[in-house]
Amino acid sequence: MTKLLQAAVLTYAVAALLPFGIASAQELEPIGALPRLGVEWELNVEDQQSNVEAKSPFRWAVFRNKGTGDFLSFATHPGWKNINNINLEYLSDTSKEIFPNGRAVWTQSTLNGTSHAIAFEVVDIRHKNALFNGEKVLEYCFISESPDRDNLMAQGRAWIGPKGVVFAQHTSAKPITSELVDQAIRSIIQGQRKLAASTTR
């Protein structure tokens, strides 16, 4: 077992920075604005959707932290809007495959690595904000190993909303907590619920 895998299993001691609410938000179809990120996060040019010729039902955006090299990745799949929340487990394999090293799988011609699952669980969101009542997410965590780079740890969340499936994932070469990605998915859910409430008035 590698040192990174041991650290991931035994402790989540390294806290993530919370970069929300500073810079302008990036748009991602079909959900609209993503969480606002701080100036230390930049859109990763190599992962632009316009770089991919083949059509994919997924839409994605990948941000890279200029200081740490971490990735914060988002993907949506509007075609899955009819999946019931009780079947979030169905997304377990996909969650490991779309951002295997933090970057979008569709923008990489070759991948040389393996993923080791640490945790996959469907949970209720616990938060004082009533907007989250009854919301469920798939929590996932895995280690990505490759001879071509440092091993990586990923903390991710998948949620099924009114406009389809949303994935959010934080990937780092260091052990990380789920704090950053939890903030991200909650921000997305809150925005989508507020939008849905406003359209029904």
Q: Please list, in sequence order, all residues whose beta carbon lies within 8 angstroms of the beta carbon of residue 178, skipping any fewer than 6 positions away.
A: 12, 139, 141, 155, 157, 170
Is the model more confident about 72 or about 5?
72
Cβ 177 vs Cβ 166: under 8 Å = no
Q: Is the dihedral of CA 64, 65, 71, 76 positive or negative?
A: negative
Is the model more confident about 95 or about 79?
95
The CATH number corresponding to 3-199 among 3.40.50.300, 3.40.1000.10, 3.40.718.10, 3.40.50.2300 equals 3.40.1000.10
Cβ 140 vs Cβ 116: under 8 Å = no
Q: Check residue 134 and give its pLDDT.
A: 77
pLDDT above 90 covers what percent of the chain? 44
Each residue's pLDDT tens digit, 32-52:
899 999 999 999 988 887 666
User: Domain residue spans in the chain?
Assistant: 3-199
- Length, in residues, of the chain: 201
pLDDT at 159 over 80: yes
Q: Check residue 82 and give its pLDDT.
A: 61
pTM of the model: 0.83
Q: Check residue 161 and give its pLDDT.
A: 87
Each residue's pLDDT tens digit, 107-152:
887 777 788 999 999 988 876 666 677 788 999 999 999 888 899 9
